[in-house]
Amino acid sequence: MTYKTGIDQLPIPPKDAKVQNVTCDFCIVGCGYKAISWPIDRQGGADAGDNVFGEDLNQQQGAESPAWYNPSMYNVVQQDSRLVHLIIKPDKACEVNAGLNSVRGGRMGVTRYSEQTGTMTARLTQPMVWRYSQMMPTSWDDSLSLVADVTRRVIEEMGEDGVIVSAFDHGGAAGGYENTWGTGKLYFDAMKVKNIRIHNRPAYNSEVHASRDMGVGELNNSYEDAELADTIFVVGANPLENQTNYFLAHWVPNLRGETLDKKRQMLASEAHAPARIIIVDPRRTVSVNACEAVAGKENVLHLAIAPGTDLVLLNALLTEVVSKGWQANDFIAQHTVGFDEAVAANRISVEDAAAVTGLASADIRKAAQWIAEPKAGGTQRRTMHAYEKGLIWGNDNYRTNAAMVNLALATWNVGREGTGCVRLGGHQEGYVRPSDAHVGRPAAYVDQLLISGQGGVHHVWATDHFKSTLNAEEFRRIYRRRTNLVKEAMDSVPYGDRQAQLEQIVAAIKRGGLFSVVVDILPTQIGEAAHVWLPAATAGEMNLTSMNGERRLRLTERYMDPPGVAMPDALIAARMANAIEASFRKAGNGAYADQFKGKFDWKTEEDAFMDGYHEHAEGGKFVTYDRLRSMGTNGVHEPVVGFENGRLIGTKRLYTDGKFKTADGRAKFMKAEWRGLQVAGREQQREKYAFLINNGRNNLVWQNAFYDQHTPFVRERMPVAPIEMNPGDMTTLGLQAGDLVEVYNDVGSTQAMVYPTPAAKPGQAFMLFIAPTGQVGNVISKATNELMIPDYKNVWANIRRIGHVPSADGMSFKNIEYPQTL
Amino acid sequence: MKECPRLAALGRRQFLRGGAVAAAGAAAVSVVSTTPARAVVPAARVDYPASRLANVRDLKVNEPMQIAYPDADSPGVLIKLGTPVDGGAGPDRDIVAYSTLCPHKGFPLAYDSTDKTLSCPGHFSRFDCEKEGQQVWGHATQNLAMFRLTVDTAGDIRAVGADELIYGRTRNVLSENTVSLRRG
């Protein structure tokens, strides 16, 4: 039976309801929302004068109504210790999303903690520690003093290299400038931790090292550029499902020709047409389908490339562009270095590239033409270059990233309207930390350190390795073994005898044990192995700042109380720092304790923002909470360069002056020669196993499903993580829709639910990434590139039936593509 | 249902910006309208009209009939699917009715008879008419509102309720004047 709420009316916010700014908790796009709240015992009315929208709610509202909200946007929550009605609805006045919501952001209402309506009551509400052989509730003081004492003992025995940290570095909920600064100041200033990793990969590294090394920051354009481009060239990304409202509100209008007037107005001296789009992806995604629906097939070039061969295509495009003389010679001469060397080193003919990539030569030539052939009158074409995880977590990250930037530089598609060479992004950004130079490059491969028995204490901030790592089965097995050693040791003494407890814990660590501390908003899978859980607040329960994929900085205001005694991560970090200081001081090591002294006196998240972003970010000195609040959901593009007439002044796009982020201001071309599938063993895997196990996100689920697994509307569609399969392959293997299959190879095995997908190529399956009910990381081998970036994407395995998902019978397994026949 | 292909074409090229209801057109529908008997204590739930939509013999398998429910401003479809489904009404348990305002942004949904789905030309959301309006893919944060149906011995099909909030309303039944006070 399909999930229905049965709700057929909702309370109406009164005219004087409180309205606050919200940026969506989730993806990089950062859609603007409004939180509307009012006391539980009041209500507005349907007449226009009686509600906050000023709308006549007695009438049916038209399409895209700014006044409509639905049951997923509504909840009853606590605000300043009083019950209020809360609506979180998309903001029509926000330039990012123009009132659109995705299926993820549109559910912020029902993913709030509510004891009244029972939503998200799985949230962690109080610190928990391992005692009496189970997780038990306790106080902040007790839990933090245990963490501090164990951390101190580990540092005394092993130095700071014994402290292993996994921490988010992103914006949005569970991140943001306040919280990256809080954790950053703890681990990079008070301490100098180098064994640290990021939420989605096993080391502390950039996903776009090459772009940065070339002097091109990876978020260099504005979302408006997608409205102005002649061509959008996108590699390894699926924007309809992953950057939904960027795609719907900015790409689609250009593909439909709806931005022609804007183009003619802003760029008056050149010819314009509706945009064309080139999508490089082995898989036909719903993005490809939607582009065909809005632009016509003749304006969409889907290059269904052989997995892992993007580098060859990009080098061939550069070669072809140069052979036609379409490169931007003046720009190259004035603002770059290394062009000739890179062109020579990366040269590959279209025909040779066609043989490797499996593409038609004519299609490669057509792509080069769409990207770089001058427009009528000889003006340089404007082509937005965009990429994401298909490239980032594909084959040979560094070189492929470089090849993408080479192409954009050669065609002057950075720093002009309608261009940009950008990653599309996953989370929002929100990074401000003290220098991480001591971490080194390549950074430590933290998950392998943990597997090899190193480290004594593991601080885990909103990260779940059990889902989001490679070689995941081995990781889980060893992590459980190591943390169990400590649990058994803790069980051998009464909790209240701290001295004896510490002796037992340290002895267990010396035998290979590991003490694990998890800071999160919800119970996690890695948390099952941990000894301490610390409850964090999320966006809206705290004021939180982040920037989106066009560097748009906004403040999400606090509109409700955190559950229980949960606190912002920044303040947890501060209290942890203070507890570690106290522990060292008590133990007589005043010198070490002094490293923390006076640095963590923050009382609020705003204190952390002022200490971090305001003092340390580029342009941060202009920015305060009050100023950001007044900029609303449109915010300001970073870097902020001034404050005039009550408004923050930002930077819409980077490098418009041709000065890049290198010592001499010239962007660098880079050699990026093809070397096949770079990760050892993958070529052999491809020979040996029947299916490519491509993987990534889908529309309905955000990140590792931390909220979605508690949400019936989603759970009904994803009782087990789906695997998209070609119907012919299903017949060959005797599979039905909804069958539970095992995916197995030389690395490990995992499970998924079969979703028949006519667009899937034979021999190419697609799994949901980092899903709680079937981790694709189990079948991904541990090798990375030279900078510790995994190749999560190019993995091969076999598939066999192991059963049927019981709740699958209530699911629709119809084609997810919008019908081209309509 | 001749409206749907036209609406889809309109959506594809023009990206409807409003007036989805107007675009969906008025539908022939007979709404039972009686003088509401005001309860002293208001009911906790919405009272729905019982509206005659059609007779079973008017329906052809897999050919959607345009309807409106619970009033003329709320367009929908009535479909005899040809195979029994959960929530299906009538002797063959195969008659279903849905709102055709997309619960994402209110664009008019178009019926695809090849796989019995309703799809939105605005942002590509899709709903399965054989699974009580389950969203197959899309941006709506709820499944599609299904109209509950009764079929009497004479074959008259009436809509008598809805299981989700209809797009563009804070209350499914906007005016009590259309309510026949079907309670119980």
Q: How far apart are CA B104 and CA A12, in angstroms?
A: 19
A565, amino acid identity: V
Q: Are B70 and B159 in contact (CB under 8 A)?
A: yes
Q: How far apart are CA B170 and CA B184, in angstroms?
A: 23
B82, amino acid identity: G
pLDDT of residue A714: 97
Q: Are B138 and B152 in contact (CB under 8 A)?
A: no
Q: Which residues of B touch A289 (CB under 8 A)?
A: 124
Whether residue A820 lies within 8 A of chain B, CB to CB, comes out as: no
pLDDT of residue B24: 41
Q: A132: exposed, middle or buried (C-beta count within 10 Å: 0-12, 13-18, 19+)?
A: exposed
Average pLDDT of chain B is 82
Q: How close is the nearest chain B Cα to the Cα of A258, in Å?
A: 8
Residue B72 pLDDT > 60: yes
β-pairing, A383-387 with A231-235?
parallel
* Contact check, Cβ <8 Å, A819/B175: no
Q: How close is the nearest chain A Cα to the Cα of B124, in Å?
A: 5
A220-423: CATH topology: Dimethylsulfoxide Reductase; domain 2 (3.40.228)
Whether residue A293 lies within 8 A of chain B, CB to CB, comes out as: yes
Q: Are A195 and A448 in contact (CB under 8 A)?
A: no
Whether residue A809 lies within 8 A of chain B, CB to CB, comes out as: no
Whether residue A72 lies within 8 A of chain B, CB to CB, comes out as: yes
* Contact check, Cβ <8 Å, B164/A2: no
Q: Which residues of B touch A253 (CB under 8 A)?
A: 15
Q: How close is the nearest chain B Cα to the Cα of A400, in Å?
A: 32
Interface of B with A in 24-83 (CB under 8 A): 45-46, 73-74
CATH class given for the domain over A682-808:
mainly beta
A291, amino acid identity: C
* Contact check, Cβ <8 Å, B138/A72: no
Q: Which chain A residue has the Cα nearest residue B110?
A: A822
Q: Are A392 and A423 in contact (CB under 8 A)?
A: yes
Predicted model pTM: 0.95
Q: Which chain A residue has the Cα nearest residue B161?
A: A8
Q: How far apart are CA A414 and CA A666, in angstroms?
A: 13
Whether residue A250 lies within 8 A of chain B, CB to CB, comes out as: no
Range B51-162 has CATH code 2.102.10.10: yes
Whether residue A807 lies within 8 A of chain B, CB to CB, comes out as: no
User: pLDDT digits over A167-204, tens only?
Assistant: 999 999 989 999 999 999 999 999 999 999 999 999 99
One-letter-per-residue 3-state SS of A191-215? CCCCCEEECCECCCCCCCHHHHHCC
Pairs of CB atoms within 8 A across A/B: 182
Asked if the bond preceding B70 is cis, omega within 30° of 0, the reply is yes
Q: Are A316 and A323 in contact (CB under 8 A)?
A: no
- E runs forming strands in A40-173: 74-79, 82-90, 128-131, 134-137, 163-167
Nearest to A29 by CA among A150, A194, A171: A171
What DSSP line would sit under B20-73, residue for residue?
A: HHHHH-----B---------SSPPSSPPPP-EEEEEGGG--BT--EEEE-SSTT
ipTM of the complex: 0.97
C-alpha distance from residue A671 to each of A322, A343, A413, A674, A711 (Å): 15, 8, 19, 10, 48
Q: How far apart are CA A286 and CA A759, in angstroms?
A: 9
pLDDT of residue A822: 81
> Which of B74, B106, B174 faces A63 most closely, judged by CB atoms?
B106
Residue B12 pLDDT > 80: no
Contacts of B33-37 with CB under 8 Å at 24 or more apart are B33/B177, B33/B178, B33/B180, B34/B180, B34/B181, B36/B176, B36/B177, B36/B179, B36/B181, B37/B181
Q: How far apart are CA A427 and CA A547, in angstroms?
A: 10
The residue ranges of every structural domain in chain A are 18-107, 149-207+430-594+602-616, 220-423, 682-808
* Contact check, Cβ <8 Å, B172/A258: no
Range A149-207+430-594+602-616 has CATH code 3.90.550.50: no
pLDDT of residue A809: 92
Q: How close is the nearest chain B Cα to the Cα of A705, in Å?
A: 16
Q: Are A732 and A321 in contact (CB under 8 A)?
A: no
pLDDT of residue B37: 54
pLDDT of residue B177: 60
Asked if the bond preceding A442 is cis, omega within 30° of 0, the reply is yes
Q: B73: which 2 tokens? A: 């401003």
Q: How close is the nearest chain A Cα to the Cα of B2, in Å?
A: 12
Pure H helices in A296-396:
310-324, 329-335, 339-345, 350-357, 361-372, 389-392
pLDDT of residue B42: 74
What DSSP line would sit under B70-87, residue for residue?
A: SSTTSEEEEEE-SS--TT
Phi, psi of B118 (to 5 degrees): -110, 130
Whether residue A815 lies within 8 A of chain B, CB to CB, comes out as: yes
Q: How close is the nearest chain A Cα to the Cα of B55, in Å?
A: 27
pLDDT of residue B40: 63
Residues of B with catalytic function? 104, 123
pLDDT of residue B32: 46
> Which of A64, A107, A289 faces B106 most closely, judged by CB atoms?
A64
Give the CATH number of domain A18-107: 2.60.40.4210
User: pLDDT digits over B20-32, tens only?
Assistant: 343 443 333 344 4
* Contact check, Cβ <8 Å, B114/A819: yes
Q: Which residues of A touch B143 (CB under 8 A)?
A: 2-4, 713
Whether residue A43 lies within 8 A of chain B, CB to CB, comes out as: no
B158, amino acid identity: R
CA–chain centroid gap for B140, Å, is: 16
Q: Are A27 and A428 in contact (CB under 8 A)?
A: yes
Q: A705: which 2 tokens? A: 């499903």
Whether residue A59 lies within 8 A of chain B, CB to CB, comes out as: yes
Q: Over the range A491-506, which residues count as b (16 or more CB within 10 Å of their CB) and which as e?
A: eebebeeeeebbebbb
The residue ranges of every structural domain in chain B are 51-162
Residues of chain A with pLDDT under 50: none
Q: Which of B45, B107, B139, B173 is the best substitution to test chain A (most A C-beta atoms within 10 A)? A: B139
